Amino acid sequence: MTGRSRSDGGQAFPIYIMMVGVLLFLALAFFAVGKASALRNGSQGAADAAALAAAQKARDNFGTGFYASLPGNTLDIFLGAPFVPPCAAAERLAAANEADTTLCEPAYGYLRDLIKVEVEGRKPVDSSVLPGSENTFAKAEATALIEFRCPNPKAIDANSDGVQDLFIFTCRNGEVVEIPPASPPPWESVSRTLFDVRLVDQ
C-alpha cells in the first residue's frame, strides 16, 4: 500500500506542475492584456490632447486674418481658405503624454475646419507571453473641430464708402459680438465666442 501511494503521488506531481504553469501563463497573459489596454487608453488621451491643442492654437492664429478680412467684407474668403495646422502644439501635448505624433493634417470645409492627429505611445507592451510585443506600441487617433458659430454677420457701412465700419455677429449660443474693424477687441476676448473647438468622431 505504501508503494502504491508513493507511485500515485509521483504521477500527480507533474500534473500539479503543469497546472501551476498554465495558471502562471494565464496570469501573465491577463497582465499583458491589461497593460496593452492601459497603454491604448494612454495613447488615446495623448491623441485627444494633441488634437485639441492644435485646434486651439489654430483658433488663436486666426485673429490676424479674421480682422484683416473685415474692412473689405471678405470674411467668407478667409473662412473658406486652407490653413496650416499648428502641429508643433500637437507634438508638445503628445510628448507630455508619453507619445509621438505620426500624423497631423487638416481637412477643409466652409465654416468648419478639422485637424486629425495620430499618435504612437513611447512604451512598448513588452510581454514575455506575447511574441513581438517588445516592438508593439499603442496607437490612437483623434479629430478636433474648429467651427465658426456666428454666421451671417450684419455689416454696417456708415459712410457708404465701401468700407465696413462695424460687424455685428449673432452667434448660435445667443451671444452677440460687435467688432469695429478700425479698433477690434483683443482676439483672445472674442475668439472663444466666435469659434468653437471640440473633439469629434470621424
Residues pairing with 195 in the sheet: 148
Mean pLDDT, rounded, of the chain = 84
Give dist(CA 118, CA 12) in Å, integer: 53
Q: What is the pLDDT of residues 165-175, one digit of tens each?
A: 999 999 998 99
pTM for the structure as a whole: 0.77
Diameter over CA atoms, the chain: 117
58 sits in which H/E element: helix 2-69
Q: What is the pLDDT of residues 16-71, one digit of tens each?
A: 677 766 666 665 556 556 656 777 888 999 999 999 999 999 999 999 999 999 98
Going by C-beta distance under 8 Å and a sequence separation of 6 or more, which residues neighbour residue 122? 98, 99, 100, 137
Q: What is the pLDDT of residues 1-22, one digit of tens each?
A: 455 555 555 566 667 677 766 6
Residue that the C-alpha cell 478700425 belongs to? 182
